[in-house]
Structure 1
């Protein structure tokens, strides 16, 4: 699998990724995208994506974001990707907003030489109940009501799983094709099935599907503290494209 520089910059890739992972409500503030919906599932679906120019001075943009989320009963949250968001980050920091850890956005080029997955992978256009039970929020709890809306809210989406002979779901992942990109998310392996290459299997299964669909690149997000996942994706050829973090209003 060859690797070359991604053809999208930070803003372009974040806007593309936002199309593949949506809440149920979105509104523009200049170039920024305010997102909500899904019953509190996923920070990406419940944050303002701070890319480009909000169309007003940054302190006014922060106030507008806070009012928008408070009106919906949500804690205001802003996603700040790459160097282009440093100005907004400084204003939010000065206002006392809490900072989360970094999330890495990793990319890899795809081609028809993508290796076959080590284990058979089942692909489906919708997640069944077994898939949803296996896909735990933050790896440790059941999905909240509304999560399915976020997971299925894209035009070309597929749900990968590895299943035991008795039908038990051992590993899951979600893939979405947006333009010529595959987005991989929700990679989860059952505790008793780890260290068996199943995360590799669902990732490779999605990549093979995307190549057949005509995609040429793949992206995914992983928190900086998740060393095992970062090592896995390094072995699969991913490189860091950029980083982002969230800031959340106090209280």
Structure 2
């Protein structure tokens, strides 16, 4: 993948990414998007703060807190890029704590190389895929709904023969953009190029469907993953972070 800056601005890319990771319940607050999915992932259980909420900042913060409290969820807001500074100040003034800084990386897809390891692609996640994604732990009931709700989605797995998957990832194609998420490699099989093989397989899948660009999110403190994606040609488009409401 060659390096190039995203053709979408921060707000448009975040709205596109939200379409690829749909919550079970979504509601607009002006241009903000309120999302709830039983607590499964921050993205599906936070207010996407882009644009104008149609209320003064302090009132918008109160409305967000009430919406999540009514659903038995901890209030959370996702604030991307410099456009969110004014709203961020309002959340901070209301006592919401900042956490979890995340980088949004993008790149053109280019020509996808053949994966260095065999990768299986499926339109739905089976129980073995879900177990590999969760690391063997139990996933909440909302997980399958969030993972499968996008229109054009695929689930990638590297499976030894015989045996369950040792590496998995999810891809979704939205308006020509490939979104890569849910990447997990078994600790005993890391540093073997499996994450790169998954990424290459998903790129090939997207190119075959007319995809032109890729985005993914990685936490700021995940140095190994950041280095992996840097080598793959992905560069930072913007950062976002979360604010959590007072208990």
By the TM > 0.5 criterion, same fold?
Answer: yes
What range describes the TM-score normalised by the shorter chain of this pair?
over 0.9
Equivalent-residue separation in structure 2 for 1:141 and 1:240 (angstroms) = 31
Equivalent-residue separation in structure 2 for 1:21 and 1:236 (angstroms) = 23
Q: Which one of the candidate residues 190, 197, 200 is aligned to 1:194?
A: 190
Pairing of 1:1-251 with structure 2 (within 5 A): 1-37=1-37, 39-111=38-110, 113-136=111-134, 141-251=137-247
* TM-score between both structures, scaled by the size of structure 2: 0.98
Q: 1:141, CA displacement in angstroms?
A: 4.0
Count of residue correspondences: 247
Q: 1:94, CA displacement in angstroms?
A: 1.2
Q: 1:102, CA displacement in angstroms?
A: 1.0
Q: 1:192, CA displacement in angstroms?
A: 0.9
* TM-score between both structures, scaled by the size of structure 1: 0.96
Stretches of structure 2 lacking an aligned partner (at least 5 in a row): none
Equivalent-residue separation in structure 1 for 2:2 and 2:195 (angstroms) = 21
Q: 1:114, CA displacement in angstroms?
A: 1.7
Q: 1:145, CA displacement in angstroms?
A: 2.0
**Cα deviation per residue 1:75-123 (whole Å; 9 max; x = unaligned)?**
1100000000001111111111111131000001012x22111101100
Equivalent-residue separation in structure 2 for 1:159 and 1:151 (angstroms) = 9
Consecutive aligned runs of 4 or more in structure 1 exceeding 4 Å deviation: none
Q: 1:140, CA displacement in angstroms?
A: 7.8
Equivalent-residue separation in structure 2 for 1:26 and 1:83 (angstroms) = 24
**Cα deviation per residue 1:223-247 (whole Å; 9 max; x = unaligned)?**
0000000000000000000000000
Indicate conservation of the 8 Å contact 1:135/1:143, yes or no: no
User: What secondary structure does 1:169 align onto?
Assistant: coil
Indicate conservation of the 8 Å contact 1:121/1:201, yes or no: yes
Equivalent-residue separation in structure 2 for 1:31 and 1:128 (angstroms) = 36
